[in-house]
Structure 1
Amino acid sequence: MSYVSEALLYVCFAILTGTFILRVIPEHRRPLIQVPSGLLLACIIAIPILEFVPIHQSAVLFAKDVEIPYGEMVKNILLELNNGKAWIWSTVASIGLAFLLGLRSFRDDKHMPKVGLFIMFLLILWLGYASHATSLYGTKGWLVHSAHFLAVTAWIGVLLAVSWFSKDSRNWDAFLGWFSPLAIGCMLITFIAGITLMTFTTPQYVNSWMLPYGQMLLLKHLLIAPLLLFAYTNGFGYRKKLNEDSSFNPKPWLKAESIIAMLLFIVTGALGQQTPPHNVKETLQSVSPSKLFTTIYNGHFSPDLTLKLSIGLDSILMLAAAIIMMVGLIRMYRDNKVYPAFAMGLLTSIFGYFALMFSIQG
């Protein structure tokens, strides 16, 4: 359940942030976007509910271990731990934003998107305050995690809102004129912050593949490859397509890109519920190895393993298959065949995964 709640939480943040960003942009610089007010309200109400799920699970676990009533344990978490304190402030902000969105006069006010964006920024900061990075590295971890999540929600949020809630393709050149630089900037921040977070939580990257956390992190990184391919074609290919064919509809391609982004959210949600392996050997004393890893790994598993990558025929064939799928995706884009391109994007990640796993040696 926690995996699902975490993924839904990211989607709620993305929809709200993307919608408010688009409403700040003048109408002549974007397509017509109509996100239902009921959906926005549902997203903002869902945020404190979804953020409470891990608190509930921790309270149930700890209450059982130390034989303290559930209610008393929840109270202790809310008043003493970072994620509890962050939940209180997030709940207050969510209630306030939900109240404002419920007022028709506020929904129609030109300053509403700015207020909404400010509150979303605060919610992102509080979510970062509750993160593993903050608990381990204090302010530095808090700022890096918050920057990472802010960049992702801004980029993917606009993508979700445009792909699923735009009513036309007007002003597409003008939209790409500001969205492409925004997306590139967000990607750069995401990569830099992501690498920094990895130095905090996963200094032994290849060895971490023995653990569920490492497997989820690897899958997350591999899903970025097709997402970037779609982002590249969407960002740089649309103008050429529109100039060649005025009837070209970009929405199916944006939807394909957004679906891959939501898959990334699901994997990230699963990642957030795993134990970060600061030291893989020590973590394996309390966490079972990944069943996926032990199934694929040919050698004898031991907590003392030190993994390394060694190129062999199997891994070369899988890597070649991944490259063929990448080339095929671009070719399908040129032929305007979205479903084969989407399938090839996923196969790029799958073949890339096996290429890496087949190259592991202990």
Structure 2
Amino acid sequence: MDILVMISQALLYVCFAVLAGSFILLLVPSNFRPDIKIPKYFLFISAITLPVFAFFPVLDIILFIAPRLGLIESFNIVLTTYTVGTAWVFTLIGSVLLVLLITLARPNEKGTFAFLGILLTFGLILTVAWSSHAGVMDPITGIISDFFHLTAVSIWVGILLIIGWCATNHNNWLPFLNWFRIVAISCLIITALSGLFLMNVLVDGYTDSWMVSYGQGLLIKHLFLLPLIFYALVNSLIVKYKISKNAKFNPIPLIRVEGLILLAIFTITAIFSQQSPPHGNYLTNVAVSPLFRLFHDGIIDPGSTIGFVVNVNIVIFFFLAIVFIGLMTLSIYKKASIIITFLFSCLFVMSIYFMFMISVVIR
């Protein structure tokens, strides 16, 4: 069941991204973006499956208590008394309204349709933030932080996904970059600030949390921000220069790579968000992450903390990371497959991850 919950949460985030990106781009005048063709079934499938994916964590709780209370009684109790169940009811209502909006929308009402669609999408994100770990632990800071965190990432990822896979050309690319650069930077800042508030709610000591699975997920997710920022700089600086020199230059493959990295971050978030947050007296030898155990197999107790040392292996992995940055740059210059470019990005993240892990000492 845990695997199904993880997969469902990753797909839930993708649904939010598709909806947010589609509605925002439909609101943008056509002379400020490439021409796009968004199949209506994209929006319909995202809206109709969203409450299905959001239901898996609810079902997990129902199945957990069902052996004691029975399935029907457990279903009723979770939906009426548990925060995650009550929030899901509102998710279902919002999704039904969104499906009706998409079904009944007329081509000549595109602006109104997109405006109402983005409002409903933000409302649905709020229902998910309400039922999150942070929302349960701190109803004010947790819900607000999680809402802004997921909203900012959904906008960023969504625009990249729709432009990357639904654009029919790369016309008006410079006007698109001019406003999207501001949006991306704003989303990055909001994501970072809201992430800090979320960590303050969920995590007691960032580096010490690396010893458990939730902290490992945070670290890997944050490391994937490095190639993301790299490609964002490439898209906003180098691509802009290339298009000014050659109007036929196609920047869409780079947008797709950036979108793949953001999808990887979504997936990592979905996988590790199902783990218990490292808050309170959480650290025991049994609770230590299997990933962390690959590097440190000693006894770990609640009083253990993480320190850092520098050695030759760290220097080797640091230079290896630089090599992969060079290969990422070369793959862009040679117009290599987006899979190759994405692979180099993953290897870069892996090098930095190994560098951190072998620098850790347990105190």
TM-score by length of 2: 0.94
Matched, 1:118 2:158: no
Q: CA deviation at 1:285?
A: 4.5
Q: Which residue of 1 aligns with 2:30?
A: 27
SS in structure 2 at match of 1:308:
strand
Residues 16-42 of structure 1: CA distance to partner in whole angstroms, max 9, x if unpaired?
Answer: 000000000011111111121112111
Percent same amino acid at aligned positions?
31
CA distance in 1, matches of 2:310, 2:233: 29
Matched, 1:10 2:19: no
Q: CA deviation at 1:300?
A: 4.3
Asked if 1 retains the 8 angstrom alpha-carbon contact of 2:213 and 2:275, the reply is yes
**Residues 214-253 of structure 1 aligned to structure 2 (within 5 Å):** 214-253=215-254
Q: Which residue of 2 aligns with 1:82?
A: 83
Asked if 1 retains the 8 angstrom alpha-carbon contact of 2:282 and 2:302, the reply is no
SS in structure 2 at match of 1:361:
strand
Q: CA deviation at 1:325?
A: 1.8
Aligned length: 358
Asked if 1 retains the 8 angstrom alpha-carbon contact of 2:17 and 2:158, the reply is yes
CA distance in 2, matches of 1:315, 1:326: 17
Change (3 A) 1:286 1:71: farther
Change (3 A) 1:195 1:327: farther
CA distance in 2, matches of 1:107, 1:294: 59
Q: Which residue of 1 aligns with 2:54?
A: 51
Q: Which residue of 1 aligns with 2:356?
A: 356
Q: CA deviation at 1:93?
A: 1.0
Q: CA deviation at 1:298?
A: 5.4
Asked if 2 retains the 8 angstrom alpha-carbon contact of 1:5 and 1:50, the reply is yes
Q: CA deviation at 1:301?
A: 4.1
CA distance in 1, matches of 2:148, 2:54: 19
CA distance in 1, matches of 2:355, 2:149: 28
Q: Which residue of 1 aligns with 2:64?
A: 61
Asked if 2 retains the 8 angstrom alpha-carbon contact of 1:233 and 1:333, the reply is no
Q: CA deviation at 1:343?
A: 2.5
Residues 118-156 of structure 1: CA distance to partner in whole angstroms, max 9, x if unpaired?
Answer: 111111111111111111112121111111111111111
Which blocks of at least 5 consecutive residues in structure 1 are unaligned?
Answer: none
Change (3 A) 1:143 1:286: farther
Q: CA deviation at 1:344?
A: 2.2
Change (3 A) 1:107 1:76: farther
Asked if 2 retains the 8 angstrom alpha-carbon contact of 1:34 and 1:167, the reply is yes
CA distance in 1, matches of 2:201, 2:66: 29
TM-score by length of 1: 0.94
CA distance in 2, matches of 1:210, 1:246: 50
Change (3 A) 1:303 1:203: closer
Asked if 1 retains the 8 angstrom alpha-carbon contact of 2:285 and 2:300, the reply is no
Q: Which residue of 1 aligns with 2:292?
A: 293
User: What is the root-mean-square deviation of aligned Cα atoms in Å?
Assistant: 1.8
SS in structure 2 at match of 1:111:
helix
Residues 252-275 of structure 1: CA distance to partner in whole angstroms, max 9, x if unpaired?
Answer: 111111111111111000122010
Change (3 A) 1:286 1:55: farther
**Residues 30-179 of structure 1 aligned to structure 2 (within 5 Å):** 30-64=33-67, 67-105=68-106, 108-179=109-180
Change (3 A) 1:232 1:99: same
CA distance in 2, matches of 1:124, 1:104: 22
Change (3 A) 1:298 1:56: closer
User: Structure 2: which amino acid aligns with 1:39?
Assistant: F
Matched, 1:184 2:185: yes
Q: CA deviation at 1:87?
A: 0.8
CA distance in 1, matches of 2:140, 2:264: 30
Residues 69-125 of structure 1: CA distance to partner in whole angstroms, max 9, x if unpaired?
Answer: 122112212111222111111111111110121125278543100000111111111
Asked if 2 retains the 8 angstrom alpha-carbon contact of 1:2 and 1:53, the reply is yes
Q: Which residue of 2 aligns with 1:328?
A: 327
SS in structure 1 at match of 2:276:
coil
Q: CA deviation at 1:330?
A: 3.0
Q: CA deviation at 1:286?
A: 9.5
Which blocks of at least 5 consecutive residues in structure 2 are unaligned?
Answer: none
Asked if 1 retains the 8 angstrom alpha-carbon contact of 2:101 and 2:117, the reply is no
